[in-house]
Structures are given as C-alpha cells and as structure tokens.
Amino acid sequence: MIRQSIIKALQKIVGKENLLTQKEDMLTYSYDAAVLNPVIPAAAVIPENTEMLGEIIALCHENRIPVTVRGSGTNLSGGTIPETSGIVLLTSRLNKIIEINEADMYAVVEPGVVTANLAAQVEKMGLFYPPDPGSMAVSTLGGNVAENAGGLRGLKYGVTKDYVMGMRFFDCQGNHIKTGSKTVKCATGYNLTGLMVGSEGTLGILDRIILKLIPAPKARVAMVAVYNTIEQASETVAGIISARILPATLEILDNFTIRAVENFSKAGLPKDAGALLLIEVDGHPALVGEEAEQIRALCLKMGANSIEKAENEAQRDRIWAARRSALSALAQLKPTLILEDATVPRSRIPDMVSAIQGIANTYKIDIGTFGHAGDGNLHPTILTDRRNKEEFKRVEKAIEEIFDTALAMGGTLSGEHGTGLAKAAFLEKEAGVSSILFSRRLRAALDPHNILNPGKITGA
C-alpha cells in the first residue's frame, strides 16, 4: 500500500493523466516475460521528462518507496517484477532520439526509445547500431542497457555493453550523475558506465544514453544450411569458428523449433530437417562472397544436406523474421514457456546440445533448442504447464541441471537475459559467496534504503 499523501505528491509531479492506480492497470505491470509469480504494485507513474523523473525518485527516496523502472517489460529474468509497496516507473514517454551525430558516429537517446527505431533511423544515414535482441521491435534501449542485452549479431559485433559510450542517470536520491563521453576514448574517473550496464535498475535510473554507431556493412549474404542431425549442425558451428571465419550471425534451430516456427511463420523452412543453421556474413562486397563460399563448402563437408543463399532482401528478411518468431512460435505449443540462456565457450556447443537432449530425456520434458550458437549462447526452451505441479518440479530440476552443466563446461548462467529475480538464488554457484557479498556492499553503499528494484541480482 502507499499513503494517499504520496499519491497526491506523485500526481502533482506528473499530472493526473500520468499516474495509474487502478487494479486493472496494476495487473499489467505485475509481471514480465519471466515465469514468476506476479506482484501488484501500488502505482505506475509515467514521467514525460527528465525533471519529472528526478522529482519522482527524490520523493520515493524521502519516503522509502521502492521503485522498479520498466521499459517494455520483455525481460526474461523477472527484472521488472515490482514490490507491493512500490511504484513502477514507466519510460514509455521518455522516448526521444535526441541526436544522431554522423560525423562522430554516436547517438544520444532517452531510455524509452525502441531499439528497432534507432536501428532504422541510423540505417537511413548509412550507419549501423548492431545490438539486435530478438525482441528489438518492442524492447527499449534503456532495458537493453540495463540488461546488457545481446542478440543475433553478438558473434561478430558484440553486445550492448560494446556500444555504450556514456550515460546520465539518477542515483537513489535523485542526484543527476554523468559518466562517459561522446569521444571514442575516455579514461577519466571510475568506469561507472561499465558498472551501470547490466545493473537492472538496481544502482540508478538512466535518462540519457550515448551509443556508439559504426559504418553499415556494404554487403551481406544470408544462408540456410539443412542437416539431418543437430550433432552435425553443432559440430559445424565449432568448425566455422575454428576455421577463423566470423559470420555476423550463426544461429541454430533444432527440429522441435523448426516445426514450431514453420507452422507459425510459413517461411518455407524444411520441417523434416534435424537441424538448421541460419548464417549471415557481412562486410566489404569483395570479401563477403568469398566468406559465404568458404562457409558453404565447410557446411557441406561437415554433413549439411544442402545450403541455400537468400536470393534477395525479401528472402533474407523472411529468414530472420522466422528466426525472431521462435519464441512466439514455441509459446503456442503449451501454456508455460521458460526460455533459458545458459552459455558455454563456443567449442563446447556440441557437448551442450547433447547434454540438453539428455536432460530433456531424463526429466521427460519438452525442450526446444535454438539460439546464438556462434557465441555459445543457446536458448533451451522448456514447454510445460505450470499448473501441473508434478511436471513443474521436474522442470525446475532440469533447469538447475542445465545451469550446472553450463558452469561445469566453463560457461555462465546467463549470456544475455540477466539475473533479475529468476537467477538471483543461483548466482552464488557461478560467482561465489565473496562476489555476492561484495556486490551487496556496493549496492548498500549506493542505495542504503534499498529502494532501487529490490531483490534483483543480489537477492534479498
């Protein structure tokens, strides 16, 4: 619950139209894309500008009200599940692209800008913002930075952290903090930019982000390689990397996922294939053809039945739209979908793929596997029904075994989806107790009353 006087104070800051307290509205903000219990917040607030944002945070600090900031709520780790006594702060109206600087190749944006909108704007200028989470048509840049989101192009171009040059954010008291710069290099002070990337709304609330842009590649070729078995496909992934070829994108889909995607998207994928590799090479026109040919030869040598190039942009777009629909396609099959993102060193992809199959068999559950195989980031996707308690227990055990397997291979619990609430209890397995205590001390020093997104990352 929240005191009436606070509601009035919030209303004074943002206006009646930007403050929501009705139960129906609160339901909308009680969950995100993770499979966790919803929590109904006390209110949702929609600031229209930076001044309003700062005033809200200061008010919440003064009154010890928990604040959970929310972009589009597409995170898969419970990062926007609020507190019952807290508010949800929506960034949907902080959605301006403030500057795109062609000469110095950077963009300054507000946190609520939708990722695909920035990508489309810079593309018109021959520039490129590479981080492309599968959710980019709806996710926000604030959410991407706060989760250190990856995407399909991570293999060649890296992830969000590689493009954040600087930012401005509010600390828990509403002080405005600036870090980083518009220059290519910046070596002053602590690297607060690095600290804030991936901090999931627990250390501060971003209101400006400076993002690096790069020249757009002049040519690209997309290909689909068809395999009888997922083992052959995953061996090829390791083979391409060890041949020192770096495609922009190297995605794998198992048969379970192919069938779901094809039924959903009708993109023309072969439903009887054991696995597919979706590959894109990009760069200078003189080199792209040669690299595509090298990959074609390697795929055929390593067991592909066929490998087809997209003939034109429309065909290419169909391939990637199909891949981006994987989560939605699988979600049609059963009431509950849990998308994991345990990640291993790339050379261990074949081992991880077969370990996931073994785990699915052991626990007698459905797991579709797809993902960014080229950077070791698989998405074993568990299809279940949360209401079936007996099955859900098996699912929980399977998830823990997936985590343990990835860690035993030298991997990580999350390549891109973050810790949030979903993985907070498992973090110790990866990071160790000293690391968690250090993080808790850091957090307590920066936010002594624990108002910024409580419970996420470091646990209670």
Ligand X SMILES: Cc1cc2nc3c(=O)[nH]c(=O)nc-3n(C[C@H](O)[C@H](O)[C@H](O)COP(=O)(O)OP(=O)(O)OC[C@H]3O[C@@H](n4cnc5c(N)ncnc54)[C@H](O)[C@@H]3O)c2cc1C
Q: Return residues touching ligand X (CB under 6 A).
A: 32-33, 68-76, 79-80, 91, 111, 133-135, 139-140, 142-144, 146-147, 149-151, 200-201, 205-206, 327, 416-417, 453, 456
Q: Judged by CB, which is closer to ligand X: 292, or 344?
A: 344
Q: C-beta of 379: minimal distance to ligand X in Å?
A: 8
Which secondary-structure segment (H or E) carries 68?
Answer: strand 67-70
Q: Which residues contact 377 (CB under 8 A, 6 or more apart)?
A: 150, 154, 341, 343, 371, 415, 416
Report the residue closest to ligand X, judged by CB. Answer: 143
Query: Could you give the CA distance from residue 152 to residue 94 in angstroms, rounded to a whole number?
Result: 26
Counting Cα atoms < 13 Å in the Cβ hemisphere of 389 gives 0
3-state helix, strand, coil in the chain (%, to 5): 40, 20, 40
Q: Which residues contact 43 (CB under 8 A, 6 or more apart)?
A: 2, 7, 10, 19, 20, 21, 26, 87, 88
* Tokens 């599968």, located at residue: 134
Strand-pairing partners, residue 308, are 224
Q: C-beta of 330: minimal distance to ligand X in Å?
A: 10
Q: Judged by CB, which is closer to ligand X: 44, or 302?
A: 44
Give the tokens for residue 239: 């083979």
Counting Cα atoms < 13 Å in the Cβ hemisphere of 426 gives 21
Q: Judged by CB, which is closer to ligand X: 92, or 228?
A: 92
E strands, 131-247, in order: 164-170, 176-180, 205-212, 214-215, 219-227
Q: C-beta of 102: minimal distance to ligand X in Å?
A: 26
Would you say 254 and 360 are in contact if contact means Cβ atoms under 8 Å apart?
no
Q: Judged by CB, which is closer to ligand X: 199, or 232?
A: 199
Q: C-beta of 191: minimal distance to ligand X in Å?
A: 17
Q: Judged by CB, which is closer to ligand X: 154, or 239?
A: 154
Phi-psi region of 229 (alpha: psi -120 to 50; beta: other; left: phi over 0): beta
Q: C-beta of 89: minimal distance to ligand X in Å?
A: 8
CA 362 vs. chain centroid, Å, equals 29
Q: C-beta of 210: minimal distance to ligand X in Å?
A: 14
Q: C-beta of 75: minimal distance to ligand X in Å?
A: 3
Query: Could you give the CA distance from residue 10 to residue 362 in angstroms, rounded to a whole number?
Result: 52
Q: C-beta of 433: minimal distance to ligand X in Å?
A: 23
Which of 206, 188, 208 lies closest to 198 in space, CA to CA? 206
- Parallel, antiparallel or unpaired: strands 306-309 and 106-109: unpaired
Q: Judged by CB, which is closer to ligand X: 197, or 269?
A: 197
Q: Judged by CB, which is closer to ligand X: 292, or 338?
A: 338
Q: C-beta of 94: minimal distance to ligand X in Å?
A: 7
Q: Judged by CB, which is closer to ligand X: 239, or 454?
A: 454
Q: Judged by CB, which is closer to ligand X: 74, or 249?
A: 74
